[in-house]
A and B are shown apart, each in its own frame.
Chain A
Amino acid sequence: MGAAKEIHQRSLAELARGLDAGDFSSRELTVALLARIDEHQARLNAFITITGEEALARADIADKARASGDAGPLNGLPIAYKDLFCTKDVLTTCGSRILENFVSPYDATVVERLNSAGAVMLGKTNMDEFAMGSSNETSYYGPVTNPWNTKLSPGGSSGGSAAAVAARLTPAATGTDTGGSIRQPAALTGTVGLKATYGRVSRFGMVAFASSLDQAGVITRTAEDAAMLMGVMAGFDKRDSTSVDHPVADYVGGLSRPVKGLKIGIVRQHFDEGLDADCAEKVNAALAALKAEGATLIEIDLPNIDLSVPTYYVVAPAECSSNLSRFDGVRFGRRSENSEDLLDLYSRSRGEGFGAEVKRRIMTGTYVLSAGYYDAYYLKAQKVRQLISQDFRKAFANVDVIAGPTAPTTAFAIGEKTDDPITMYLNDIYTIGANLAGLPGISVPCGFADGLPVGLQLVGPHFAEEAILACAHQYQQLTDWHEQAPGEFA
């Protein structure tokens, strides 16, 4: 049940028990993981910054706190932060050259809460630049590789977090999800990825990509671990106007809710030719397993779901084109040298500082907001978004959760999809709907196709984190996909 496991194989919950039992100290745990991170960094490139010294300092504080009975709920437990979260006095790059020298003067709310609970920060994980990408290939700091096959992408944009957790370098890492950036890499790396309801977790300190779609979450190996972390991260923050003042449920306590009687909606449109046949098989098997436990599978229709990717690729670039205007080389970040005039300063700082995908999205966004195009694109997309949300609302009148594949294929080769932007965008086809409607979603490993992980996605109505976590947890009690580690990282 965990006693025979090595330290890096243990889940967060198992580590917590081990620390409490005195099996090892937080320092020992931290030293072990830092060593693994170092060992595999060149191969995986999962981290941009490794905060070795700070980690050991925090571990020592945690050990003292445990001894004096002062321990917070995550005392001494390791965590890595996606480099999109601002961390005080630590380099925060967002995977971009334009922030290559940006040491944040403050902590994001998510970081504050996890640190206050006693978590030990191991480092900042690699990511697609400014969270724009589905393969972690757009990072200025080089691509992240998938521990299951290092020629393959781990997915994105939270690729570094997913790879680090899959490779057992850390039991947990935070991520952000705007169109699927937590769930899709989780599916491609055989880990659990949870995105909260929009407004559930504070966005203060989480560098904005698309403000009305961005939401924080975690990547772990078990639903139980995700529940532990979400319990600390979730909650109202007065510094975020879009933060919701809604009570935080006891996610860990709610995990034992049985699957029996659960009404699971299956989206007809999701099981079409776009979905790889082997993946479909694994997802269907998972659904069958849930049915065998007493869940009811109900076919539902989301009539406008096919428009979710084009809708997203109008709304997200529009918002990001505005959000990224603050990166101009004037007050922080990288400034181009020898500027002739102000226009030159701006254009070159940004032209040199941003990568190709980011520039494409800024350009797309600028275009769809520009005079003459606003009504046809941005306004239109926000209306279609309303339609898609209505579809979900109608569906949830009849079902408790919606289940299906997280991604259309298993992990793809690095470099394979970078030529045509649309092909890359279609990776998010099953995940984007939840972002447009602000719904919580989780991906949980449900098997392997050709030796590569497949993910099952569960989406719930607003604030139904408890329900989807419970369903995922119960599924993990029936299966052991999540216990399987990629060969050299076992």
Chain B
Amino acid sequence: MSLNKDQIEYIATLARLKLQDDEIADMVDKLSRIVDFVDQLQAAPTDDVLPMAHPLNMCQRLRADEVTESDQRDQVQKNAPLVEDGYYLVPRVLE
């Protein structure tokens, strides 16, 4: 099944990936091939089968409600791209 350029551009926006023109063309080609390849799955007999989310049949462990973390801001923000007064800065968002 072939994907088209519009679809690729839409997916790229959802995924927040800026693609150059040549990347888009390559993506149209490669993704179409991949989707073609995985389409084999459609023939599999899965009518009475439950989807598997985990290889082991385990359930979620619960942790005690305790504060175990302390202020790590200075250490962590040492390598942050852009901070001011302890805030992470991004271009202003309009709501």
Contact = CB atoms under 8 A, between A and B. Distances in A.
A460 to B, nearest CB: 13
B76 A360 contact: no
B67 interface: no
B16 A377 contact: no
Q: In the A-B complex, list the 8 residue pairs whose CB atoms are closest, starting with the nearest.
A: A438-B55, A382-B51, A351-B18, A347-B18, A335-B81, A383-B46, A346-B16, A386-B52
A382 B53 CA distance: 7
Interface in B11-59: 11-20, 23, 26-27, 30-31, 33-35, 37-42, 44-46, 49-56, 58
Contacts, number: 170
Interface of A: 101-103, 105, 198-199, 212, 238, 241-242, 244, 304, 307, 309-311, 313-314, 321, 325, 328-335, 339-348, 350-352, 354, 356, 359-360, 362-364, 366-368, 370, 376-377, 379-387, 389, 420-422, 425, 436-439, 462
A387 B46 CA distance: 8
Contacts of A377: 38, 41
Interface residues of B, number: 54
Given A368-B38, A420-B33, A462-B55, 20 more contacts: A102-B79, A105-B72, A199-B56, A212-B53, A311-B41, A313-B38, A330-B88, A333-B81, A344-B18, A351-B18, A351-B19, A367-B31, A370-B14, A377-B41, A382-B51, A383-B44, A383-B52, A385-B51, A389-B52, A425-B37
Given A366-B14, A384-B46, A437 B80 contact: no
Contacts of B51: 379, 382-383, 385-386
A351 B17 CA distance: 5
Interface of B: 3, 7-8, 11-20, 23, 26-27, 30-31, 33-35, 37-42, 44-46, 49-56, 58, 60-61, 63, 72, 75-76, 79-82, 88, 90-93
A384 B44 contact: yes
